[in-house]
Amino acid sequence: MTGAPQVVRTVADLRAVLAPRRAGGVGLVPTMGALHEGHLSLIRAARAEQGTVVVSIFVNPTQFGEAADLAAYPRTEERDTELAAGAGADVVFAPTVAEVYPDGFATTVSVAGPLTETLEGAVRGRAHFDGVATVVAKLLLAAAPDAAYFGAKDAQQVVVVRRLVADLGIPTRVVVIPTSRDADGLARSSRNARLSSAERALAAAVPRSLRAAQDALAGGETDAAALVAAGRAVLADAGLAPEYLSLVDPGTLEPVTRVDGPVLLAVAVRLGATRLIDNVVLGTERTPS
Ligand code: AMP
């Protein structure tokens, strides 16, 4: 399909649009809108692999802990539709809250254990990943895609989604796309637009902290506490204290004490009213710059 993407608002319409197109493969890119280059890299990856690319735009209220964060979340659907089309989307699925959560809605998909209790789960509370898991399950059931595309920036989300797809037997391949970054290394995020210029300058310390740990590892340090200390020092220089800066197993998200294989270094920092998260897999990835 070329030209403007088709915008559909109901699951019934989405299924009707996709029904004749299944044979060519369907890719789904779930988003909350306010699209930026990171989202577009997911859409392009889907475009390269699938006959039909669906981008969902839904600001999911159940995954927001703070009402103010939900209220302030940018909503730019018209611009998003144009950007999605430019990156190769055929269909934009933009349902209302009532379409996703009709009256009487009473089901929660909950991934239990350390996968959802650590890192973001510890800071944002268990309702956050319940909200994510439930809406992702609903989107995968609605679109029934051959593959769904997620960003490595939300590393814990990827682990949780892989778990729920495996546990529920959902026949969708989960594809993970590397984090897209600004020139100074900051991971692109819809929330970055809310940073003041002073905060935006400080934010570059977040990827720098990951890089400091990478550099320490490259210098021969394998002790997790020492690697975390190297990252914390960079944040402290910028006057920042992380909500967490943790070295964990990339599959189980359990803490590690020594690096002797791929480990996930994940960080969350609050800068004024904005939370920033980032991560790198030590031992495998290029430095975030
Ligand atoms: P969001 O709209 O923030 O829910 O993000 C939708 C999808 O885009 C998720 O799979 C995110 O991980 C992914 N994403 C967000 N930011 C980036 C980025 N900077 N690079 C790559 N993927 C991203």
* 45 in contact with ligand 1, CB cutoff 6 A: no
Q: Which of 5, 14, 39, 140 is catalytic?
A: 39
Shortest-distance Cα residue to atom 18 of ligand 1: 38
What integer pLDDT is reported at residue 1 of this predicted model?
47
Shortest-distance Cα residue to atom 14 of ligand 1: 151
* 156 in contact with ligand 1, CB cutoff 6 A: no
What integer pLDDT is reported at residue 289 of this predicted model?
60
Does the annotation mark 36 as catalytic?
Answer: no
What integer pLDDT is reported at residue 68 of this predicted model?
86
What integer pLDDT is reported at residue 285 of this predicted model?
55
* Domain positions in the chain: 6-177, 190-282
CATH of 6-177, one of 3.30.2320.80, 3.50.50.60, 2.130.10.10, 3.40.50.620: 3.40.50.620
Fold assignment, 190-282: Pantoate--beta-alanine Ligase; Chain: A,domain 2 (3.30.1300)
Could you list the mean pLDDT of each consecutive 10-residue stretch along the chain, which spans 289 residues?
83 98 98 98 98 98 91 94 98 98 98 96 95 98 98 98 98 98 97 95 98 97 98 98 98 96 97 96 70
Q: Are 33 and 60 in contact (CB under 8 A)?
A: no
Residue with tokens 């020139």: 183
Shortest-distance Cα residue to atom 7 of ligand 1: 31
Rounded to the nearest whole angstrom, what is the distance from the C-alpha of residue 219 to the centroid of ligand 1? 31
